[in-house]
Amino acid sequence: MAPTMRDVQLTAAGDGAFEEVRLLDAYDEENSDILNGNLRRIQVRVSGMTCAACSNSVEQALMGVNGVFRASVALLQNKADVVFDSNLVKDEEIKIAIEDAGFEAEVLEELSASCTSQHGTVLGQFTIGGMTCAACVNSVEGILRKLPGVRKAVVALATSLGEVEYDPSIISKDDIVNAVEDAGFEASFIQSSEQDKIVLGVVGVSAEMDMQLLEGILSKLHGVKQFYFDRISRELEVVFDPEVLGSRSLVDGIEGGSGGKFKLLVKNPYTRIASGDLEESSSMFRLFTASLSLSVPLFLMRVVCPHIPLLYALLLWQCGPFLMGDWLKWALVTVVQFVIGKRFYVAAGRALRNGSTNMDVLVAVGTTACYVYSLYALLYGAISGFWSPTYFETSAMLITFVLLGKYLETLAKGKTSDAIKKLVELTPATATLLVKDKGGRIIGQREIDALLIQPGDILKVLPGAKVPVNGVVVWGSSHVNESIVTGESVPVLKEVNSVVIGGTINLHGSLHIQATKVGSNTVLSQIISLVETAQMSKAPIQKFADYIASIVVPTAVTLSLFTFLGWYVAGLLGGYPEEWLPENSNYFVFALMFAISVVVIACPCALGLATPTAVMVATGVGASNGVLIKGGDALERAQKIKYVIFDKTGTLTQGKATVTTVKVFTEMNRGELLTLVASAEASSEHPLAKAILEYSRHFHFFDEPCDTKESQSNSEQAKFSGWLHDVSNFSALPGKGVQCFVEGKWILVGNRKLITENGITIPSNVESFVVEMEESARTGILVARDNTIVGAIGIADPLKREAAVVVEGLLKMGVKPVMVTGDNWRTARAVAKEVGIHDVRAEVLPAGKAEVIRSFQKGGNVVAMVGDGINDSPALAAADIGMAIGAGTDIAIEAAEYVLMRSNLEDVITAIDLSRKTFSRIRWNYVFAMAYNVIAIPVAAGVFFPLTKLKLPPWVAGACMAMSSVSVVCSSLLLKRYKKPRLTAILEITVE
């Protein structure tokens, strides 16, 4: 049995195209370009570092070693990551260099070249609770990375999620959970890449006998690996082998085995995550309201009651050693301090045990100082008769304001997930499954949970209903609204063999579809997974915040101590008059209030929210506008784009090639030429070949052209229809064309290069005809038979209607567009001229596009590549930012950082504009996060008090600290008002 896993959220773990989009991707990308050839990478444990200056000294010492390619030192982890040339430097020399700098060193391990594809490792997701700031994140990451068997670990504060890549033969998921919990945080396992898990709500379990029955059923089901039933939530978690047992078979097996006693309901993974966010927000709201309800009476007793004689007299009533008012204050604040504020002590203790400090440490120190002093003042007054003022209400108000800030953070976290929630709502909850007999005849139907659909199921989709999963139409005809995926409002006709996408809406006729992609493999699930993962990712700029947060807390404590000593000693030495002291106060209390204010106002809680909240909102906004962003690092790079390189075919053009001209140069007629060319091209998969086949068939039989998928099946049938000739020795030559024997004649169909390489001379009239086509942005295809050119075909690929306007818009934004294509120079120049691009790279093979990109990257330029994701993967991967044009089932493109769902080039401008707006917002967030500290710390320390008598009481400091978080969160949420830029505004066009 598995250990208790409360609040576990099911996240689909499929092998879909977005499977590799992970929190760890940014970590991988940092190191993907350095581990090749003789380069090695090792980690070294460095002891003796105490500050950033120490880590800088180690880095400088390492970079001074001949042969070291790169060195990075992590102060909190006490590790150095070193990449070096093994022919020039050895491990021992690296160790000696660190020791010569005055530190101790120990070589730990060599890291392999491919961190994401190491054999025997598993990628696991965990929820991590109890983190309050960036210092907590650093602490948890440090704990995880030190565990034996853990290769990599990344933790996200904003989503309370962690991803760990580990070797299950060395460490288990339970060991990882225990390590996090031993450090004082909360942890639970979600999923790993090695197994499938399903969470089911169970109705019908009421007694111990029912528990035993359920356990017996699960134990007998072949393929079940592990299960756990939570008696409180009535949720059953089952880990199973998907190769042996399907999810619906599992549910049917449990319900059938119980004789109908148990009823099961599948828990939607994304709904569970949203409910988890809601529960966290509700819990924080309850704490805040409880603290507020107890703090308000304290405030009234101090401010209002002195003006109401009857109430004030009651508070001044002597009750034992203390006044009634003092008893009430002590009782109320004790509840706030140690019951409601318990979470701060727990978190502070956790941080101190891990050798770090965070926001909770500052809150615990500040409030405890107020509470302890106030209690001491009461006791001292009761003994000596000298009553000093107490500050109980300061402690309570401080805790209240901090809880307010935390509540608003959780509220903002929930709001930033709106895009995911809207996408989840697009997926239907149930589906109609058609039941067939052994002969394949439909004998009935039943309603099933959409999460239990399996590949191969035949589903019935009624008019007005949503398509439950990706599939293929096997019966019926209807129009489907695919705007949620493609952005196109015009309904698409769906007939037999047409592909349908899950979440789209069937408008008219009934359809029977066969499920092909279910669960995490559907388009909507992939989009949701991508948005969720992007919201977990860390932008490189966040490293700055993490570093600042790691030094602010100890600095604040030190500054607070010096503030206290300065004011206290100065008072004792007569450095300022006693008139400055509050009534019945003393130098100790006077100095203590300044010190507490410094501790509280210096808290860096808002700093850790500055980047992740903005990234979360931006990725959600991007998804709502048809732009999927794979992480904060992509957002950061995109704002600096200098060049945008466009592929021509399918990107600038519509990708639907059509034959426009056929010219015969011999005695054969046009029909004979087209039959000859179609016979040669029938075995080719090239888009131009498909266009020629389609045109030839239409020429001979006058049938209507059909879409690409149907034309593929029709072209197969055409081989046996009697009008195509027999072909032998067929060969496709990339970048040139095809060659084969047709009825004993040697046939070449392709470009000039193919013709000239075979020793065939191109007559002047043929050359003139081809040049004319190329200058009019058409591709010229030459046809030769037995070393004689017999004809030429002109093929055009119409430009997208928005191409020229988008290019002009990029120029207005200061971004230089470039076109790269494998087409010839004349055609390329003609297309480029039509869209307004002045920089063209033509006759470039797919593998050569990456080299073109690298040439533009020289000098540190940030280059984006826009391609259709089919032949452009090397270029998309080589670019700083890959933007994949794709819709529907083509949306899953691993090499790109941005996926433009709607295949509209206007989204290129949206992607760049959103990136710029986001990082402008992040910069403002840092201003809001630091402004309170920078401005208020001197005030809190009393720097201006001698001149202006201006003080910042601790409770006001707490309010300022809470407001810094509120300001950052609200600033990030303003991104939700983002509107796509209008091209008319970008181009400064005046519309009459």
- State the Cα angle at 599 between 598 and 603, rounded to 5°: 110
Strand-pair partners of 126 = 162, 189
Local structure of residue 650 (DSSP, 8 states): I
Instruction: Give the pair of three-digit tokens for residue 353.
Output: 């045990």
Give the whole-angstrom CA distance, residue 495 versus residue 492: 10
Sign of the alpha-carbon torsion through 800, 802, 804, 806: negative
Question: Which residues lie closer than 8 Å to 945 by C-beta, 6 or more apart?
Answer: 580, 951
Q: Closest Cα to residue 409, out of 608, 641, 267, 269?
A: 608
CA distances (Å), origin 442, targets 55, 106, 447, 460, 494: 71, 69, 15, 11, 22
Report, in angstroms and rounded to the nearest whole number, the Rg of the chain calculated over CA atoms.
35
Beta strand pairing call for 641-647 and 816-820: parallel
Q: Closest Cα to residue 400, out of 970, 954, 977?
A: 954
3-state class (DSSP) for residue 985: helix
Between helices 825-835 and 764-775, what is the axis angle to 10°? 20
Count CA within 13 A, CB hemisphere, residue 681.
Answer: 28
Contact 879, 911 (CB under 8 A): no
User: Buried b vs exposed e over 520-559: b needs ≥16 C-beta within 10 Å?
Assistant: bbbbbbbbbbbbbbbbbbbbebbeebbbbbbebbeebbeb
- Strands laid side by side in the 442-449 sheet: 442-449, 430-436, 458-461, 511-517, 470-476, 499-500
Count CA within 13 A, CB hemisphere, residue 862.
Answer: 15
Sign of the alpha-carbon torsion through 321, 327, 333, 337: positive
Give the whole-angstrom CA distance, residue 272 versus residue 453: 19
User: Is residue 277 flagged as an active site residue?
Assistant: no
Instruction: Give the pair of three-digit tokens for residue 330.
Output: 């002590």
3-state class (DSSP) for residue 183: coil
Contact 694, 711 (CB under 8 A): yes
Give the whole-angstrom CA distance, residue 370 versus residue 376: 10
Local structure of residue 385 (DSSP, 8 states): S
Local structure of residue 339 (DSSP, 8 states): I
Give the whole-angstrom CA distance, residue 367 versus residue 361: 10
CA distances (Å), origin 268, targets 123, 537, 788, 833, 907: 21, 23, 66, 51, 31
Local structure of residue 576 (DSSP, 8 states): S
Count CA within 13 A, CB hemisphere, residue 94.
Answer: 31
3-state class (DSSP) for residue 18: coil
User: What amino acid is encoded at 390 in this protein?
Assistant: T
3-state class (DSSP) for residue 134: helix
Q: What are phi and psi of 43, to 5 degrees?
A: -110, 140
Question: Which residues lie closer than 8 Å to 184 by C-beta, 6 or more apart?
Answer: 130, 346, 347, 349, 350, 351, 353, 354
The catalytic residue among 647, 797, 907, 913 is 647
| Residue 342: count of CB within 10 angstroms of its CB | 11
Give the whole-angstrom CA distance, residue 614 versus residue 406: 17
Question: Which residues lie closer than 8 Å to 355 by C-beta, 6 or more apart?
Answer: none
Active-site positions? 647
